[in-house]
């Protein structure tokens, strides 16, 4: 198994499709809920976690199932070819739903179909990448995901201001294209590691992590939980934060998120390289500190300061102070996110890559449930002050930092020379 940059870029189209869908969903569904259906903030927070409740019960066992599956087209590919087309279809129907029950039906179907194929498409990366190159490969994967996020925000924002359905229709077309690119150009390994022993299930692997005397795996999974609580809490409410705290139109709030996504994309590859050179743990911890500082800046600086125009750039348009802070946050998030999954999968063997990918998503999904709910209630209880979304995050980042201090495994494994 050799590392191929070109093949990894092609694999990244899978994560590209996932990111387009979720960025458009997270940016504009809260606006529909607040403006079209007049839902209260705490209920919006609950609604924005429905996808994560589904993922909690679907993604981890699907990851373990894909480890065991054997088909002529591979063990991961069937999940992609079933889940992606269904997701594309219902995603395009979401903005057309004028009554709440139909809106919920469309979003629920999207949630289930996306949960069905996300873990297998992510598990393809370690399937085809040697351990010592997984941070770099994950940098490429996240670069492609960031490109999807940019399209969902920088392009989706102006499209939303023209017609609320346009970003969703764009996302549907792109996710079909992405799934086809993965199916056509990525060939799964023909042979897999085998063992005469029964493979532990996801839940047995979780029990092993919880009861192990060496706590590195548990610590990083808890760190993942806490930093995703912080990040998801902000992401779920940012367009409403921009609308209610900064006084910006919904499309402009999405455009600001696009500035974060752009820097995430530009720094995804360098973040992987930094993890390979200086160690994944050190780079993640640096990212935690930097992202915490960005959140505190968005909380303590007044709106009139955050909206001061710094410059105007092609594609990005006006870049205010808050845009610069979000760009720095994008760099910090790349340092954390690019290096975390490789650390998790390098704490196990090749037989359980899908299972440990499932554990990664189990803890990130639990965080994605807790974060928006927590912030929804904080906003509700503080008189709908959306700036409080930026205050809670650093507290959870601090806990994540403490967890990472005790991680001793998960760096790149060297391959013995012949």
pLDDT at 85: 93
Report the CATH number at residue 374.
Answer: 1.20.1250.20
pLDDT at 375: 82
Q: How many CB atoms lie within 10 A of CB 211?
A: 8
The number of helices, as runs of H, and strands, as runs of E, in the chain is: 16, 2
417: in domain: no
394: in domain: yes
| Residue 398, both tokens | 């601090």
Contact between 124 and 188 under an 8 Å Cβ cutoff? The reply is yes
Rounded Cα distance, 391 and 208, in Å: 35
83: in domain: yes
368: in domain: yes
Q: Where are the alpha helices (DSSP H) in 279-407?
A: 280-300, 303-306, 321-345, 353-381, 389-405
* Digitized pLDDT (tens) for each residue of the chain, 418 residues in all: 577 888 888 888 888 888 889 889 988 998 899 889 998 888 888 888 787 787 777 877 887 788 788 888 888 888 999 999 999 999 999 999 989 999 999 999 998 888 888 878 877 888 888 877 877 887 788 788 878 888 888 888 889 889 999 999 999 999 999 889 888 888 887 665 554 455 556 677 788 788 877 888 899 999 999 999 888 767 778 888 898 889 988 778 888 888 888 888 888 889 988 988 898 999 999 999 999 999 999 999 999 999 999 998 877 778 999 999 999 999 999 999 889 988 888 887 666 776 777 788 788 888 888 888 888 888 888 888 888 888 888 999 999 999 999 888 888 765 444 3
pLDDT at 233: 66
Give the pairing type, strands 309-313 and 317-320: antiparallel
pLDDT at 68: 80
pLDDT at 76: 87
42: in domain: yes
Return the axis-axis angle of helices 321-345 and 353-381, rounded to nearest 10°: 150
Contact between 107 and 49 under an 8 Å Cβ cutoff? The reply is no
Rounded Cα distance, 4 and 198, in Å: 32
- Bridge partners (DSSP) of residue 318 are 312
Rounded Cα distance, 28 and 272, in Å: 30
Q: Any idea how long the chain is?
A: 418
CA 308 from centroid of its chain's CA atoms: 29
pLDDT at 416: 45
pLDDT at 302: 93
193: in domain: no
192: in domain: no
Q: Which residue has the tokens 């996710």?
A: 175
Q: In the chain, how many domains are there?
A: 1
418: in domain: no
Contact between 113 and 87 under an 8 Å Cβ cutoff? The reply is yes
Structural domain for 72, as ranges: 5-187+202-405
Rounded Cα distance, 262 and 243, in Å: 21
pTM (whole model) above 0.75: no
| Residue 234, both tokens | 């902000």
């Amino acid at each position: 198994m050799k590392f191929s940059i070109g093949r990894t870029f092609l694999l990244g189209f899978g994560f590209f499709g996932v990111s387009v869908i979720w960025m458009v969903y997270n940016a504009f569904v809260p606006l529909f809920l607040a403006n079209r259906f007049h839902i209260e903030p705490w209920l919006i927070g609950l609604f924005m976690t429905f996808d994560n409740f589904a993922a909690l019960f679907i993604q981890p066992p699907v990851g373990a199932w894909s480890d065991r599956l054997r088909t002529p087209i591979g063990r991961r590919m069937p999940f992609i070819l079933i889940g992606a087309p269904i997701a594309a279809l219902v995603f395009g129907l979401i903005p057309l739903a004028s009554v709440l029950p139909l809106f919920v039906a469309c979003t629920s179907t999207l949630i289930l179909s996306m949960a069905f194929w996300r873990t297998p498409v992510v598990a393809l990366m370690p399937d085809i990448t040697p351990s010592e190159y997984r941070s770099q490969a994950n940098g490429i994967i996240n670069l492609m995901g960031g490109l999807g996020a940019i399209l969902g925000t920088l392009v989706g924002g102006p499209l939303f201001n023209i017609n609320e359905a346009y970003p969703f229709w764009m996302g549907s077309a792109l996710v079909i294209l992405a799934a086809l690119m993965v199916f056509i150009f990525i060939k799964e390994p023909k042979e897999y590691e085998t063992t005469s022993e029964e493979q532990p299930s996801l839940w047995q692997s979780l029990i092993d992590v919880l009861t192990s005397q060496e706590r590195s795996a548990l610590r990083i999974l808890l760190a993942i939980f806490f930093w995703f609580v912080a990040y998801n809490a902000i992401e779920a409410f940012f367009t409403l934060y921009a609308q209610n705290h900064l006084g910006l139109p919904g499309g402009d709030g999405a455009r600001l998120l696009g500035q974060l996504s752009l820097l995430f994309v530009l720094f995804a590859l360098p973040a992987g390289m930094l993890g390979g050179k200086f160690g994944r743990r050190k780079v993640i911890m640096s990212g935690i500190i930097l992202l915490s500082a960005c959140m505190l800046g968005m909380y303590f600086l007044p709106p009139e300061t955050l909206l001061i125009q710094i410059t105007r750039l092609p594609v990005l348009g006006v870049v205010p102070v808050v845009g610069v802070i979000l760009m720095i946050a994008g760099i910090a998030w790349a340092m954390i996110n690019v290096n975390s999954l490789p650390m998790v999968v390098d704490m196990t063997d090749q037989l359980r890559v899908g299972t440990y990918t499932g554990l990664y998503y189990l803890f990130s999904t639990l965080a994605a449930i807790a974060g928006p709910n927590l912030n929804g209630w904080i906003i509700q209880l503080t008189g709908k002050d959306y700036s409080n979304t930026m205050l809670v995050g650093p507290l959870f980042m601090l806990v994540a930092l403490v967890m990472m201090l005790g991680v001793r495994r998960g760096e790149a494994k060297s391959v013995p020379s012949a």
